[in-house]
Structure 1
Amino acid sequence: MSESYYKIYDFLAWKRLIFFLSIFLFFISCCTMITRGFNWGLDFTGGMLVEISSEKDVNLINIQNILVQSGFKNPIVQHFGSQKDIMIRLPLDPNENKINQHTISKVLYALRQGIVQNFFVKQVNWIGPSVHSQLINTGIIALLVALICILVYITFRFEWRLATGVVISLIYDMIVILGILSLFAIKIDSTIIAALMSAIGYSINDKIVIFDRIRENFYYTPVSKSIDIFNISLSQVLSRTIITSVTTIMVLLILLIWGGDILHGFAVTLLLGTIIGTVSSIYIASALAFKFGTARNHFIKINKK
């Protein structure tokens, strides 16, 4: 591509400031996770999930207040499907190890007394202590396996300096996302785990596109300085990065606004992953690869082998 078709920006001129801000964000995220922990959802804490349908549209706040007044501790009430369908999450009772019909009857009785209309149970699910412990272990294993597979892939695909930049930036992405989830006490459930894995996939794809262009320019662009190669490569993929990120963010904003409570955590997590992953691709992964001394002779040696 000729230089006349795009403007070259000096991205790496900001690398020191971005490194400082990134280290600060990383440190704050770690401290937040250690001090505040996570707001684990029903999938990981255990409890009862009751799906109920009503005759008319209902107000979630009224239902939650009625349940609290009836003696239920920390009930979570959400809409699903329509304004007539509600999902009630009741935390794990240590004295129960299965679905308690008395609890279901108590919920229905409280709702029918507080809101004069009929309610019908559509579905009841129970997550016991052994199940939620298994879900936590499975979620952690799934994330670790995904990261290991990515490590193996990029190690064989790129020169080790580029690969190291990708790995460090991916770890940074995950820590910062988890730190924000911890800071705002966003409920961690199975959809959040799916969103985290999707964010990893989006971030690694963005980084691979950028590093492919960097590697290609080291082969074919007649520029002597490595910093110029990095800036040219980042400038060439800038329009692609902006278009991809903006369209993805637009879809996620739609999910965030109109997707309902069930998709709220998923949309927030993936939105954070898109923004953080895009920034880290340019100012962490690429800047680290440059800092490690990536030069033309590294690629020429590989090509000769």
Structure 2
Amino acid sequence: MIRLTLVPQKTNIPFMKFRLMAFVLSGFLAISSLGLFGGIGLNKGIDFEGGILIEVGTEGPADLSQMRDALGGLGLGEVALQEFGAVNDVLIRVERQEGEAPAQQAAVDAVKKALEADNPGISYRRVEFVGPKVSGELVESALLAVATAVVAMLLYIWLRFEWQFSVGAVLALVHDVVLTIGFFAITRIEFNLASVAAILTIVGYSINDTVVVYDRIRENLRKYKQMPLGDLLSLSINDTLSRTVMTSVTTLLALAALFFFGGEVIRGFSAAMIWGVVIGTYSSIFIAAPLLLILGLQRSSRDDEEEAEKEEIRETL
């Protein structure tokens, strides 16, 4: 029986020799991401910015130029149009109007009237409105969700491993989140609630990869008590490399199918997830494990205490 694998079952790659290069690369990407976020910012969707979103379908190919001319003279502020998947599917964004719900509904009615004058048979797939209060609450909820997830994982890792593992895992998570934010900023993919879901999913995927590597490191700390720590970390990463790569590749195949065939609605989510899987895999190997050297991971401590307690129990019996 022929068995095909992307990575040999046993590799001997000296990962720790590349840690300085990885830290420099990650530092550059993180600073660039923060700069992009503070500079051009995110392309916030209607969930966070507030406003009116109308998706329409025309009988034939949509004439975006004609539609822009018709809507541009309505005095509704910024109006953006883009094809949304098919050539007859158009997404219209209208700036949030001053006033309460009646003002927003009046803007929607004005848009419909202008469109129907030149596009008989036009259909409305969806009409959404998010006010400033709601969008502000969504921003707070999104930030709270991400922060809660990171803190909860910090506590989990701290209880399961030594504190160095906990700090290393959380720093790797922050690294992944910051680089994902930079990805949204530079690609101008709309940042909405689906994007927050993507970030939370990336956090979960990344911590899962990191825990697998950390588990093997802890096992090898007990098994190879005389091996230099740098060599032990490289050995642990090599031990889990086949599993890490196969998991990432199969996940990427599924996400690629969603990206190319899932339609425009989930394309941004799929793109963010593809980026997140790549970055999460990279950080588990080149960031989370090497950080243990910087944080001063010690062989003795909890593991030795547990062994001593077991030995004491055996002697008592």
Q: Aligning the two structures, in what range does the TM-score lie when normalised by the shorter sequence?
A: 0.7 to 0.9
Letter in 2 for 1:44: F
- Structure-2 separation of matches of 1:270 and 1:251: 11
When normalised by structure 1's length, the TM-score is 0.88
Equivalent residue, structure 1, for 2:20: 16
What's the offset of the Cα at 1:153? 0.7
130-139 or 28-37: which moved more?
Answer: 28-37
Equivalent residue, structure 2, for 1:157: 160
Structure-to-structure mapping, 1:1-305, within 5 angstroms: 6-54=10-58, 56-59=59-62, 61=64, 65-71=68-74, 73-77=78-82, 79=84, 86-98=90-102, 100-115=104-119, 117-221=120-224, 223-303=226-306, 304=308
What's the offset of the Cα at 1:249? 1.5
Letter in 1 for 2:25: L
Letter in 1 for 2:26: S
What's the offset of the Cα at 1:291? 2.6
Letter in 2 for 1:258: F
40-49 or 90-99: which moved more?
Answer: 90-99
- Structure-1 separation of matches of 2:291 and 2:254: 31
- Structure-2 separation of matches of 1:90 and 1:302: 63
Letter in 1 for 2:84: H
Kindly provide the CA deviation profile for residues 121-170 of structure 1, in whole angstroms up to 9, marking residues without a partner as x. 35433211111111111111111111111111111011111211111111
Structure 1 pair 301/64, CA: closer, same or farther in 2 (3 Å)? Answer: farther
Contact 1:77 1:88 in 2 (8 A): yes
Contact 2:195 2:268 in 1 (8 A): yes
Structure 1: stretches of 5+ with no match in the other structure: none
Contact 1:143 1:197 in 2 (8 A): yes
Count of aligned pairs: 299
Letter in 2 for 1:39: N
Structure 1 pair 163/63, CA: closer, same or farther in 2 (3 Å)? Answer: farther
Structure 2: stretches of 5+ with no match in the other structure: 1-7, 310-317
What's the offset of the Cα at 1:102? 3.8
Secondary structure at 1:39's aligned position in 2? coil
Structure 1 pair 24/32, CA: closer, same or farther in 2 (3 Å)? Answer: same
Q: Percent identity?
A: 29
- Structure-2 separation of matches of 1:60 and 1:291: 59
Letter in 1 for 2:228: K
Letter in 2 for 1:163: S
Letter in 2 for 1:88: I
Letter in 1 for 2:266: L
When normalised by structure 2's length, the TM-score is 0.85
What's the offset of the Cα at 1:53? 4.4
Structure 1 pair 185/85, CA: closer, same or farther in 2 (3 Å)? Answer: closer
Contact 2:72 2:79 in 1 (8 A): no
Kindly provide the CA deviation profile for residues 222-242 of structure 1, in whole angstroms up to 9, marking residues without a partner as x. 652212211111111111111
Contact 2:221 2:232 in 1 (8 A): yes
- Structure-2 separation of matches of 1:293 and 1:245: 29
